[in-house]
Structure 1
Amino acid sequence: MQLTIKRFIFFIFLTFQALITHANGFVVLEDEQSNSSISVPEETKASSTPKNIPPVCNIPSAHYRKKIAATFFPLTKPENSKINDFKGFEKGIGRDLLQRLYSTGNFLVKEAESINLYPDTEIAPYISEISTADGTSLLASIEKDLDVQYVISGVIRDLSYSDYSNKFNLPFRFVSPIDQPNKPKRRNIVIDIYLHDTLTEELIDKRHYSYTITNGMVKPDYDIAYGSDEFFATAYGQKFDDILIQQATAIINTLSCRPYTIRIIDKDKKDIYLNIGSQSRVKTGDILTMYHADKDGGSFNSNTSRKQFGWPKSKLRITKVFPAYSIAVSDQEEVVHLEKNKEYILVW
């Protein structure tokens, strides 16, 4: 009899706690890896963009707008996204990241959502030796076709959900009387995001995000598009917003420490044509330093290691600027020996 009374009192206590949680309009987002949780308004509309982020490395080329693209994000488990669910993660995540970067005013962006760098998600971030028809690698092809130096890619590894919650960390399943039966209460987000340099084909950065949302809407009763206001108003969408703020900030910080690379697209006896224009904030009179492509000499920090970019070769001065390209002259006669599309200029 006493055990029955205790169980009844405990049940009343849990029900009261659940009512308070719903009445306050807040949900708890738990990070299973760090055992941390954050409270956010259940109906928060997210349109967050990293702003006023001071550069980690204050280099002279920091004011030039970097060129970046984002590819398709494949789902490791396509069955995680079904009918009457959130839709469009595969193309939406990259598009969302590009919009956030573009909003800072420091990036020129290109969508490459038709390109899947990881047909086999198990080997990501390794890019298989699949080349284009002309024999170039996929990254080199992206650089050539889209005129971008950097590419964002990734793999969505888990979006699975379950039909119960355990926000009180009980040793058994508890369903509050106010909860809807068979309504998903718990859902995972596991995603890897990568950043490559298309010119060197170097993996510059990789990040792993793993979270479990244990309350609020984690699966709708009808299709909701990823990136919509309705999506970001949910607990699940709010966590994606948090992830992409972190990722956009990481990209900004990482690329602020790398030299700006410019490709020579053509030349004549005295003029050098460069794939950087007014859209990238280059101006008439800007001085650029060209380096030998011998991977020796000067260096810069990348992922705590030193990367080589050659010895200074000559100085170039911008004489004419157009939206997508510019014309420069060299201070040395050896410019006549340059090969277009094979020589690069690194602005430090």
Structure 2
Amino acid sequence: MAKILLNCILASLFLSTLSCANVQPQARAHTVTVEGQAAINKGMPLLAKKQALQDAIRQASMQSSATIHSRTLVDQNNVSLDTVSMHTAAAVSNTKVIKEWSADNIYHVVAMVELSADNSCTPHYRKRIIATAFPLVKQEQVIAYETQDLYGGIPRELNNLLMESGEFIGSNATNINLYPRADLAPELQDRTAYRPSKVMQIAAANGVQFVLSGVIRDLEVESSEYMRGAGPLAFARSLARDVVARRGIGIDVYVHDGYTGALLLQQRYVDDVIGDVFIPATYSVGSERFNATSTGGKIAQIINQASTDIRRSLSCYPFTTRIIEIKDDTVFIDAGTQERLNVGDQLVVYSTTGNDLHLDGGLSFIGKDKQAVGILTIRTITPRYAIGKLEVPARELGVKVGDWVKSW
């Protein structure tokens, strides 16, 4: 009896040790109080306040893991260029201004900045994203009697998960293929002189911030060559391939910024399955029957993981929309309550300050030079659009229809 009791005690201690060993310490957010400053230009204190708050956030981030590069150029005993660039692993989850004032044409902000422990942010606004087709690199890898829904179904279901998260407003354009040569993706092959990229055209035409795309790089079923031979065994193995086989799965997912055409996310997901690897023609992506198949279940897992990765990657990315109408100092923007805008919100207006930007001797259009020129304060909200006021009339700032409005 004593021996049994001793064994129970030792087992309890062993299990307790395992339990403690598996407990991971939870990362905690780090809060710091910092001061930021910015010059007040053209009598616009709201813009200076926004820039001072950004400076405070930079100061807070520098207290985390950061890499800083600075450069100063002196021309005729005067500083002609003084720049500082910084990369930090810290992401800001919350900020609170506790004191602000202006002196000598400088705006000062003292803020409490909470740095996220997991390098993610809590999105305040919902961002618009459009899903385009996921073409197959090798069409022959999906046979005729299998489902033909992968091309549009994978991006459609991925977009649905992003919308269900509450962080995105999604739309589908799965009839559009960004990659005529899927094997070269994410390179865009349809460059046209003096015109924005296809990504930027799609984003502007559909009023979205991000463009989701991808390619199905691999769905190959293992070769049957090793099954060749003579005799009943070789014949049986060849027949068994139609029931039990191995299939590779490889899917690339990309997200572009629709305003600049920049590639923000590129991720490859690979897996394989063994068993009945074919998906019947009547099954559509996202359905229970699709997910119940070996290949469909793995694809569903990849879609779920890609949704998580996209949300994490874009959580700290600023919300952006466009100006759709200007009347004196009243500005209408292409976002409203569905994007979670509120009366009193202040957004930074970015306007074209120069000519279009080109490369390759002027043949490749890459965008427009945009600079922060003012602050738009939201006064009226509707579900589809919002109306705001600028500190200075739009004509004095050079603000035009089509210019950008961003949360930072």
What TM-score comes out, normalization by structure 1 length?
0.70
The separation in 2 between residues aligned to 1:293 and 1:56, in whole angstroms, is 32
Q: Deviations over 1:230-253 (max 9, x none)?
A: 010122111112111111111101
The separation in 1 between residues aligned to 2:236 and 2:162, in whole angstroms, is 42
Picking from 373, 387, 395, the partner of 1:313 is 373
Residue type matched to 1:324 in 2? R
How far apart are 1:337 and its partner, in Å? 4.0
Picking from 317, 323, 330, the partner of 2:383 is 323
The separation in 2 between residues aligned to 1:128 and 1:83, in whole angstroms, is 28
**CA gap 1:57/1:226 in 2 versus in 1, 3 angstroms:** closer
The separation in 2 between residues aligned to 1:82 and 1:265, in whole angstroms, is 47
Q: Deviations over 1:186-206 (max 9, x none)?
A: 111112111100101000010
Q: Is residue 200 of structure 2 the alignment partner of residue 140 of structure 1?
A: yes
Q: Is residue 173 of structure 2 the alignment partner of residue 112 of structure 1?
A: yes
The separation in 2 between residues aligned to 1:221 and 1:96, in whole angstroms, is 18
Which structure's residues are more often strand, by fraction?
2
* Structure 1 segment 71-110 matched on structure 2, within 5 A: 71-110=132-171
The separation in 1 between residues aligned to 2:241 and 2:121, in whole angstroms, is 55
The separation in 2 between residues aligned to 1:210 and 1:254, in whole angstroms, is 19
The 10-residue stretch of structure 1 (316-325 or 221-230) with the greater mean CA deviation from structure 2: 221-230
**CA gap 1:292/1:163 in 2 versus in 1, 3 angstroms:** closer
Residue of structure 2 equivalent to 1:69:
130
The 10-residue stretch of structure 1 (122-131 or 275-284) with the greater mean CA deviation from structure 2: 122-131
Residue type matched to 1:278 in 2? T
**CA gap 1:252/1:158 in 2 versus in 1, 3 angstroms:** same
State percent identity of aligned pairs.
31
Q: Deviations over 1:23-42 (max 9, x none)?
A: xxxxxxxxxxxxxxxxxxxx
Contact 2:279–2:290 (CA<8 Å) still a contact in 1?
Answer: no
Contact 1:142–1:198 (CA<8 Å) still a contact in 2?
Answer: yes
Picking from 253, 276, 288, the partner of 2:312 is 253
What TM-score comes out, normalization by structure 2 length?
0.60
Residue type matched to 1:94 in 2? P
Aligned length: 270
Picking from 330, 333, 345, the partner of 1:274 is 333
Picking from 248, 265, 269, the partner of 1:188 is 248
The separation in 1 between residues aligned to 2:235 and 2:398, in whole angstroms, is 72
How far apart are 1:160 and its partner, in Å? 1.3
Secondary structure (helix, strand or coil) at the match of 1:64 reads coil
Residue type matched to 2:304 in 1? I
The separation in 2 between residues aligned to 1:222 and 1:333, in whole angstroms, is 59
**CA gap 1:55/1:72 in 2 versus in 1, 3 angstroms:** farther
How far apart are 1:112 and its partner, in Å? 1.0
Q: Deviations over 1:77-108 (max 9, x none)?
A: 11111122233110001101110001111110
The 10-residue stretch of structure 1 (183-192 or 335-344) with the greater mean CA deviation from structure 2: 335-344
The 10-residue stretch of structure 1 (335-344 or 74-83) with the greater mean CA deviation from structure 2: 335-344
Picking from 197, 205, 208, the partner of 2:257 is 197
The separation in 2 between residues aligned to 1:95 and 1:87, in whole angstroms, is 14
Picking from 208, 213, 220, the partner of 1:153 is 213
Residue type matched to 2:137 in 1? T
* Structure 1 segment 34-73 matched on structure 2, within 5 A: 56-58=119-121, 62-73=123-134
Residue of structure 2 equivalent to 1:13:
none
Contact 2:133–2:174 (CA<8 Å) still a contact in 1?
Answer: yes
The separation in 2 between residues aligned to 1:321 and 1:120, in whole angstroms, is 44
**CA gap 1:91/1:176 in 2 versus in 1, 3 angstroms:** same
State which structure, 1 or 2, has the greater radius of gyration over its C-alpha atoms. Answer: 2
Contact 1:86–1:231 (CA<8 Å) still a contact in 2?
Answer: no
Residue type matched to 1:141 in 2? Q
* Cα RMSD (Å): 3.0
Residue type matched to 1:206 in 2? Q
The separation in 1 between residues aligned to 2:371 and 2:397, in whole angstroms, is 17
Residue type matched to 1:258 in 2? Y
Query: Structure 1: where are the runs of 5+ without partners?
Result: 1-53, 167-172, 296-308
How far apart are 1:211 and its partner, in Å? 1.6
**CA gap 1:220/1:277 in 2 versus in 1, 3 angstroms:** closer
Stretches (4+) displaced over 6 A? 173-177
How far apart are 1:278 and its partner, in Å? 1.2
Secondary structure (helix, strand or coil) at the match of 2:328 reads coil
Residue of structure 1 equivalent to 2:184:
123
Secondary structure (helix, strand or coil) at the match of 1:214 reads strand
The separation in 1 between residues aligned to 2:242 and 2:312, in whole angstroms, is 43
Residue type matched to 1:155 in 2? V
Secondary structure (helix, strand or coil) at the match of 2:199 reads helix
The separation in 1 between residues aligned to 2:250 and 2:316, in whole angstroms, is 28
Secondary structure (helix, strand or coil) at the match of 1:86 reads coil
Residue type matched to 2:293 in 1? T
How far apart are 1:311 and its partner, in Å? 6.2
